[in-house]
Structure 1
Amino acid sequence: MGQNGEQQQKEEGKRGRPLDLSLNKAILEATLDLLAQHGFDALTIEAIAQRAKVGKATIYRRWCSKVELVIDAASFMSPYETLLEQLDKSKGLREQLIDLLSTTFQNEHETHQQAMAQIGSALANHSDLEQGLHTHFNSLHRSAVEAVISPFLKEGHQLATKDLDLLSDVGPALMMYRAWIIRKPFDRSYIERIVDRLMMPLLEEWI
């Protein structure tokens, strides 16, 4: 569960009504499936409840709105809480960056790619969704990129904020453009080209 769901879980616990955490995954997966099929505007809490086989009240106990649920569903696709732990630290920088971007953007998961494209299509008309995703995703992704790169920097070197920002932006910018604007899928080989042609050359002077 993402940050919004976690906060609500704590609030429910304080009120003495513990949540059945086994339902969270079913609700988030149902949200992504329906997003991929029908888009954000057509998505309803009622349809999600039917797909997940739960009551609407079960969903509203966890998320106050459809926007908050979709933001957590996007986080479910890119679980930064466990992502860094899963990376193979014995690999080189190039391989870890490829694994990071591949896992983050679920490049081999067709439903998640379609859901991502539908979320992107909705951003222009839903500023609350755009702001929520930006606030949540940007800081987590930037921290993950920094954590991967830092062990490979030359002794006494560190990335300037503007350089870290650029390195963090490259992958998401290209993949979101591909998924949201031109509506083309991407695979691991596309991510490898991003790392080989753009990110690694940018890092040459620091590693």
Structure 2
Amino acid sequence: MTVEQTAARPVGRRRDPERDAAIVQATLDVLAETGYEGMTVDMVASRAKAGKATLYRRWPSKAHLVVGAIASLTETNVTLSDVPDSGSFTADLATMKKASGHSNIGLKMQILAGLTPSLASDPELAAIIREQLIAPRTTLMRGLLLRAVERGEIAPDRDLDALALIVPSMMFYRCAVLGQPVTLESHQSLIDEILLPAVGLRP
């Protein structure tokens, strides 16, 4: 092998999807057993039969590890470009749901609700949740709403930032405050009975 070929080889090992999946599952298991405050990276490494250095190469902190595990439960990284303009806000919403995947939405919200007591005492955790879980979702919803405004479906004087937060905020309230499960049906009900009337549309 020439010097040039040696230099061109990637440094380090490639990520193993099966290894990542085992770590994510171990994270969720330990989190369910101990809560966020009681959980340690050592516990997860031991449960996943992985070195702690392996975890830190993938996730730089416990907060990143937990948020990464939660994010893996349901949604793929869907952006506005993944939702073709159908000409209808309700049709765009349906496409977004199909692209994102919501099979474990209740479990995800339940875990997030369980982290609520830790948000005030762990600013890093709160910041990562806002950045990686909340912001992408609300940015996508705001993009769909803006599209509808530009099509003339929604009045231009609506507060799009507030509207984009309606569904995720009410799902979290339902789970964390009321103690009620979040299901696909309850999620759709929030869209049909709250979001669409708020923007002046019918289901």
Distance (Å, rounded) in 2 between the aligned partners of 1:67 and 1:151: 34
Of 8, 12, 17, the match for 1:17: 12
* Alignment match of 1:182 (pick from 173, 178, 181): 178
After TM superposition, the structure 1 = structure 2 runs for residues 1-207 of structure 1, keeping only pairs within 5 Å, are 16-22=11-17, 23-82=19-78, 93-94=89-90, 96-97=92-93, 100=96, 106=102, 108=104, 111-153=107-149, 155=151, 163-204=159-200
The SS at the match of 2:144 is helix
Question: Are residues 82 and 169 of structure 1, via their aligned partners in 2, closer, same or farther at CA, if it must alter by over 3 Å?
Answer: closer
Report which structure shows greater RCO (CA 8 Å, sep ≥6): 1
Give, in whole Å, the separation in 2 of the partners of 1:93 and 1:46: 46
Alpha-carbon RMSD across the aligned residues, in angstroms, is: 3.6
For 2:197 and 2:154, the matched residues in 1 are separated by 16
Would the aligned equivalents of 1:167 and 1:199 in 2 still touch at CA under 8 Å?
Answer: yes
Larger radius of gyration: 2
Q: Gaps (5+ residues) in structure 1?
A: 1-13
| 8 Å contact from structure 2 (residues 148, 154) kept in 1 | no
Please state whether the residue corresponding to 1:192 is helix, strand or coil: helix
Q: Report the TM-score, using the length of structure 2 for normalisation.
A: 0.73
| Count of paired positions | 192
Q: Give how far 1:130 is off.
A: 0.8
Distance 1:24-1:89 versus aligned 2 partners, 3 A rule: farther
Letter in 2 for 1:20: R
Identity %: 24
Does the 8 A contact of 2:110 with 2:176 survive in 1? no
- Give the distance between the partners of 2:119 and 2:131, measured in 1 at CA: 14
Q: 1:113 to 1:204 in 2, by over 3 A?
A: closer
Aligned to 1:8: none
Q: Over residues 43-86 of structure 1, what are the superposed CA-to-partner deviations in whole Å (9 max), with x where a residue is unaligned?
A: 11122112222121211222221112122223223535247688
